[in-house]
Chain A
Amino acid sequence: MILRIFRYDPATGTPRYDDFEIDPDPGMTVLAALFAVQEQYDDSLAFRYSCRGAVCGTCAVLVNKVPRLACRTQVQALLDGTDEMTLVPSPGSAETHPFDPAREILIEPLPHLPVIRDLVVDWDEFFEKYRALGPVFRPKDSPPENERLMEPGAVHALEAYTNCILCAACYGACPVDGKDPAYSGPAALAKLYRFHSDPREARDGSRLAAADSPEGWWACEFHTNCRRVCPKGVPPDIAIGKARQELQRGGRKPSGPGRP
C-alpha cells in the first residue's frame, strides 16, 4: 500500500507529494499509518492527533479527497472501496494529484484553511467564526436553586447538535466555504442553532438574528456535504434549513442562493 502524502515545509515554501510504502496490519487506521510513516521513514512528517477514538476532533484530514478523522478511517476499507464517498465538488476536492484508490491512499490537509506544515492547518479562522456567533449558553431567567427542568425529548433534539466535536471536517467539505471566505460555515451555524433551540434560552429570535446575513444562514446552498462527512452524524444543513424557515415565518424574505 502506498500513502501519498501532501508535504509542505514553510522553511522551503514549496509543496510536494511524497509516497511511502506501508504494510497494512488488519484494523490499521489512517492515523496508525501516519505514525508508521513518521517512525519508519520520516520523523519530520507533521499531523495532529489526540484521542485516537473519534471523540476529540483533532485529526481531520483529507483522505482520498474526503474530509475524515484519520483515527476512525480504516485503511482496508479505503483500499476495498467499501468506504467510498462522493461529495459535491468543492475547491478542496479538485484533482491535485492522481492516485489509484485500489492501492494508494491520498492524504492531504483539510481544505479551506491555511497550511502550517504538512497535514497541519491553522484552525484560527474556523474557531474565529465559531466565536463570532457567541456560542455560550444564555439562559432566559436567573438560575433556580436546582437544575432547570428539561423534557427528555428536548434533550434528544439538542443532542443532534451538541454532538459536534468541532473537527472542521464539514468546513473542509463545504463548497460555499471554498468560494466565500466570509461564510460562517456549517459547524458554527449548527452550534448557533443548538443554542437557539435550547428551551432553557429565551428563544426570542436573537440567536437567529446573529446569522441573518448573506454570510450566515443565507449563504448555504444545501449541498449536504457537511452532513455526509460529519463523523458524529450532526446535520448542519437541517439546522440551517430550519433557521431559514423560522426566519421566513417571521416575515423575513429569503435572500439566499438555496431554498430549503
Chain B
Amino acid sequence: MPDPVVHTHDVCIIGGGLAGLRAALACSTAGLDTAVISKVHPLRSHSVAAQGGINAALGNAEGAEHDDWEAHAFDTVKGSDYLADQDAVARLCRDAPAAVIELEHMGTVFSRRDDGRIAQRPFGGAGVPRTCYAADRTGHNLLHTLYEQVTARGTRVYEEYFVTSLVRNGGRCTGCTAIAIPSGELHGFSAPAVLLATGGFGRIFSRSTNALINTGDGGALALRAGVPLKDMEFVQFHPTSLFGTNILITEGARGEGAILKNRGGERFMERYAPASVDLAPRDVVARAIETEISAGRGFPGGFVHLDLTHLGAEKIMERLPGIRQIAMDFAGVDPILEPVPVQPAQHYSMGGIDVDIDGSTRLPGLYAAGECACVSVHGANRLGGNSLLETVVFGRLVANTMIADLPSLPPPDGALVREAVRAEKSRIDAILARNGDERAPAILRDMKAAMFEHFGIFRDETTMREGLAAITALQERCRRASVGNKGTVFNQALHRLLELEGMLLLAEAVARGAMFRKESRGSHTRTDFPDRNDTEFLVHTLASLDDGKMAITQSPVTLGMFEPRERVY
C-alpha cells in the first residue's frame, strides 16, 4: 500500500461527547495542538440525550441552603453502596459548584428560580434538591455549549473517524489508527497523549436507553492495549424507560412529583423504600419494578405506570416538555392526560477503563474520562445527576494531567504509527475477504438478548454460567462473520462488525466480573448471594486480557470519610 496518511498532534481525544469536549477545551486553551476524533459529529454524541440534570451543592433550593459538597459526597458514597473511591468522590463533589457555574458562564441556559438563580430539583438518593437542570434537556444544552466553545477555539475535529486500534510502543501509547468513514481510508494518528472519552457500552443489552452508537469502543480498545477494565459487573438499569422503545423517561419526572403505580393502582414504592418512596436510588427502584412485574402486578408485556397527570399541564410543559414529546411521539401517550408505560432498561455503565484519580491508565500516554472510564466515583450504583457532573469535572482534570505529563512524553516516532496502519489494514482486508452466511446483525441480536437474560437486574450462578457460554459461542461466530458490502465509502456493515468484536469482549468482562462477585451490592443483585459482603468483596474487580484470555483480579477500594454502613432508604 502507499504511505498511509498520519496526522500528528500533541493530544488525540477519542470521543466528542461532554468529557471529550471539556478536555479538548482545556487542552486547546492551554495552547496544545489538540485533535478530537469521533465516529459521529460531536453534537450526535449520547451526552445530548441526558435529560434530568447535573448535581452541585449550590444550595439554591428552599431548605437546601446549608447543602455542601460533603453532603453531596455522602449521598454519592452511600448511593455507590460504599464501593466508590472516596478521595475521587470528594474531588467530584468539591469541584461540582465551580463546574456548573463555569458552564453557566459559557452560556448554558439553565432553568431558573424566580430570584434568577439556577433552579435545583430533587433526584433519587439525594438528601436535598441538588440537581441543576435545563428543563429536561440538560445534556443537549451542555453539549451545545461546549461544542460552541471548542468550535470557537478552532480545535481540529475529525468527524466520522472510527478508531480501530491504539498504537502501543515501548510501553507507551503513541497514537491510534482510524477509518475515515466517508472515504473508507485507514489513517494513523500520532500523539504522545491519547484520551479515551468514548462513552458507555449499553448497547450490549437488548433493553437499553442508550443511543445506538453506544457500543463501548473505548473499553475494547483499552483492553486490547493491555489496560484492564474495572468493576464491569456494575451496570445500571434505569427504572423508567418508555415501554416499547426503551427511550429514557427522566428521573426528574419523579423529582417533580411523578408516582410509580402497579396494575392495581398501588404506589408500590412505599413498600420497598418507605422513606424515599419513588425517589430511592435507581438500583432500588429498578429491582422493585422488576419484582412487581414478576409477581404479576405489572401490565401485560411487562411494564408499570409512571403517573404525572396530577402535576398538571403547566408544570409538565415547563419542566418536562421533552419527555412529554417523547411519550407522545414514541408511545402515543400524553403524560398530561394518562400515565406513561415504563419498564427498567440498561442505562449506564458504572464500570470501565481502569484509571487513577487523575485519569491516567497504567499505560503511559493513555488516559480515559467520562462513562468509558472507571475512577471510581459511582461504585456499585450511580446517582442520577452525577454522570454529567463526572464528564465535565474529570474531562477538565484529565486534561490538566495530560498537560502536566506532556513535557515528559517525547514525540512518538511516526514510522511506528505507519507500521500500525499497515498491520491494521491487513486485518481489516482479511475481514472484508471473508464470505459466508454469518452476519453481524444476527450475532448482535443474540448477544443483546443473552446479556439481558443472563446478566440483567437479577443474577445467579447457574443463569450466568449459561450466559457466559452463550457469549463465548457468539465470539466464535463473530470470528467467522462476514460483510456483504465490500466497498469503502460509508461501509457501515464493516464498522458494525468491528464494533461487535469489541462489544463481545465487554460482554465477557461483564459476565466474568459478575460471576466473580459472590455478593449483592448496588446494581449487582445475586439471588444466590443476596447480602453485601464487605469482608470479601469491598474491592474493585479488574478484567484484563492476556494472550486472548480474560482474567479477573481485584484491587482495593479507597475509603476515608464515610464508614461502610447498611444502605437504607
Q: For residue B137, which residues in chain A have a CB less than 8 angstroms away from its CB?
A: 55, 163
Interface residues of B in 195-236 (CB under 8 A from A): 211-213
Q: For residue B244, which residues in chain A have a CB less than 8 angstroms away from its CB?
A: 27
Residue from B148, B248, B325, B326 in contact with A137 in the complex, judged by beta carbons closer than 8 Å: B148
B265 at interface, CB cutoff 8 A? no
Once the chains bind, are B493 and A136 in contact (CB under 8 Å)?
A: no
A236 to chain B, nearest CB (A): 16
B553 at interface, CB cutoff 8 A? no
Given known contacts A11-B487, A136-B151, A151-B112, is B245 in contact with A53 (CB within 8 Å)? yes
Q: How far is the CA of A54 from the CA of B326 in the complex (A)?
A: 8
Q: For residue A49, which residues in chain B have a CB less than 8 angstroms away from its CB?
A: 212-213
Interface residues of B in 234-250 (CB under 8 A from A): 244-245, 247-248
Chain A 57-82 interface mask (CB, 8 Å, partner B; 1/0)? 11000000000000010000000000
Q: How far is the CA of A134 from the CA of B149 in the complex (A)?
A: 10
Residue from A43, A139, A152 in contact with B483 in the complex, judged by beta carbons closer than 8 Å: A43
B70 at interface, CB cutoff 8 A? no
Q: For residue B212, which residues in chain A have a CB less than 8 angstroms away from its CB?
A: 49-52
A147 at interface, CB cutoff 8 A? yes
Interface residues of A in 99-145 (CB under 8 A from B): 116-118, 120, 122-123, 131, 134-137, 139, 143
Q: For residue A88, which residues in chain B have a CB less than 8 angstroms away from its CB?
A: none
Once the chains bind, are B493 and A58 in contact (CB under 8 Å)?
A: no
- With most chain B CB atoms within 10 A of its CB, the pick from A10, A27, A50, A122 is A50
Once the chains bind, are B117 and A149 in contact (CB under 8 Å)?
A: yes
Once the chains bind, are A146 and B101 in contact (CB under 8 Å)?
A: yes
A42 at interface, CB cutoff 8 A? yes
Interface residues of B in 111-133 (CB under 8 A from A): 111-118
Once the chains bind, are B49 and A55 in contact (CB under 8 Å)?
A: yes
A202 at interface, CB cutoff 8 A? no
Once the chains bind, are B113 and A152 in contact (CB under 8 Å)?
A: yes
Once the chains bind, are A38 and B107 in contact (CB under 8 Å)?
A: no
A203 at interface, CB cutoff 8 A? no
Q: For residue B274, which residues in chain A have a CB less than 8 angstroms away from its CB?
A: none
Q: How far is the CA of A116 from the CA of B491 in the complex (A)?
A: 12
Residue from A46, A50, A147, A163 in contact with B46 in the complex, judged by beta carbons closer than 8 Å: A50
Residue from A10, A116, A135, A158 in contact with B109 in the complex, judged by beta carbons closer than 8 Å: A158
A212 at interface, CB cutoff 8 A? no
Once the chains bind, are A137 and B145 in contact (CB under 8 Å)?
A: yes
Q: For residue A122, which residues in chain B have a CB less than 8 angstroms away from its CB?
A: 182
A159 at interface, CB cutoff 8 A? yes
Once the chains bind, are B149 and A136 in contact (CB under 8 Å)?
A: yes
B18 to chain A, nearest CB (A): 13
Residue from B134, B144, B211, B490 in contact with A51 in the complex, judged by beta carbons closer than 8 Å: B211
Given known contacts A43-B439, A152-B112, A200-B107, is B489 in contact with A162 (CB within 8 Å)? no
Q: How far is the CA of A148 from the CA of B117 in the complex (A)?
A: 7
Once the chains bind, are A53 and B330 in contact (CB under 8 Å)?
A: yes
Q: For residue A53, which residues in chain B have a CB less than 8 angstroms away from its CB?
A: 49, 211, 245, 247-248, 326, 330
Give the contact stretch, choosing among B36-44, B407-415, B458-466, B525-533: B36-44
Residue from A58, A72, A136 in contact with B44 in the complex, judged by beta carbons closer than 8 Å: A58
Residue from B46, B106, B326, B490 in contact with A117 in the complex, judged by beta carbons closer than 8 Å: B490
B506 at interface, CB cutoff 8 A? no
DSSP class of A's interface residues: helix, strand, loop or mixed? Answer: loop
B472 at interface, CB cutoff 8 A? no
A171 to chain B, nearest CB (A): 14
B392 to chain A, nearest CB (A): 15
Q: For residue A57, which residues in chain B have a CB less than 8 angstroms away from its CB?
A: 43-44
B484 at interface, CB cutoff 8 A? yes
A166 at interface, CB cutoff 8 A? yes
The chain A residue sitting closest to B213, CB to CB, is A50
Q: For residue A146, which residues in chain B have a CB less than 8 angstroms away from its CB?
A: 101, 117
Given known contacts A55-B322, A155-B112, is B43 in contact with A143 (CB within 8 Å)? no
The chain B residue sitting closest to A146, CB to CB, is B101
Q: How far is the CA of A10 from the CA of B114 in the complex (A)?
A: 56
Q: For residue A134, which residues in chain B have a CB less than 8 angstroms away from its CB?
A: 152
Q: How far is the CA of A151 from the CA of B111 in the complex (A)?
A: 9
Please tell me the number of chain B residues within 8 Å of chain A, measured between CB atoms. 61
Q: How far is the CA of A56 from the CA of B134 in the complex (A)?
A: 16
Once the chains bind, are B149 and A155 in contact (CB under 8 Å)?
A: no
Once the chains bind, are A131 and B489 in contact (CB under 8 Å)?
A: no
Once the chains bind, are A150 and B490 in contact (CB under 8 Å)?
A: no
Q: How far is the CA of A46 from the CA of B160 in the complex (A)?
A: 13
Once the chains bind, are B107 and A136 in contact (CB under 8 Å)?
A: yes
Interface footprint category on A:
35 or more
B476 at interface, CB cutoff 8 A? no
Q: How far is the CA of A117 from the CA of B441 in the complex (A)?
A: 21
Interface residues of A in 10-27 (CB under 8 A from B): 10-11, 27
Q: For residue B182, which residues in chain A have a CB less than 8 angstroms away from its CB?
A: 116, 120, 122
Chain B 478-504 interface mask (CB, 8 Å, partner A; 1/0)? 000001110111111100000000000
Q: For residue B487, which residues in chain A have a CB less than 8 angstroms away from its CB?
A: 9, 11, 44
Interface residues of B in 84-101 (CB under 8 A from A): 100-101
B48 at interface, CB cutoff 8 A? yes
Q: For residue A158, which residues in chain B have a CB less than 8 angstroms away from its CB?
A: 109
Q: For residue B46, which residues in chain A have a CB less than 8 angstroms away from its CB?
A: 50-51, 56
Residue from A44, A151, A159 in contact with B116 in the complex, judged by beta carbons closer than 8 Å: A151
- With most chain A CB atoms within 10 A of its CB, the pick from B41, B109, B152 is B109
Interface residues of A in 209-251 (CB under 8 A from B): none
B549 at interface, CB cutoff 8 A? no
Once the chains bind, are B116 and A150 in contact (CB under 8 Å)?
A: yes
A87 at interface, CB cutoff 8 A? no
A157 to chain B, nearest CB (A): 10
Q: How far is the CA of A147 from the CA of B132 in the complex (A)?
A: 12
Given known contacts A44-B485, A136-B148, A147-B117, is B490 in contact with A50 (CB within 8 Å)? no
Q: For residue B248, which residues in chain A have a CB less than 8 angstroms away from its CB?
A: 53
B47 to chain A, nearest CB (A): 10
Once the chains bind, are B109 and A159 in contact (CB under 8 Å)?
A: yes
The chain A residue sitting closest to B325, CB to CB, is A54
Q: For residue A135, which residues in chain B have a CB less than 8 angstroms away from its CB?
A: 148, 151
Q: How far is the CA of A134 from the CA of B148 in the complex (A)?
A: 9
Once the chains bind, are B111 and A155 in contact (CB under 8 Å)?
A: yes
The chain A residue sitting closest to B114, CB to CB, is A152
The 19 sampled A-B contact pairs (Cβ below 8 Å) are A9-B487, A27-B245, A46-B489, A46-B490, A48-B44, A53-B326, A55-B49, A58-B41, A72-B330, A116-B490, A135-B148, A135-B151, A136-B151, A147-B110, A148-B104, A149-B112, A155-B112, A163-B137, A165-B48
Given contacts A11-B489, A38-B441, A152-B111, list 5 more A-B pairs with CB under 8 A.
A44-B484, A56-B48, A149-B115, A151-B112, A200-B107
Q: Which 10 A-B pairs have the closest CB atoms?
A: A137-B107, A149-B116, A43-B493, A44-B485, A136-B152, A46-B490, A50-B44, A53-B247, A136-B148, A147-B104
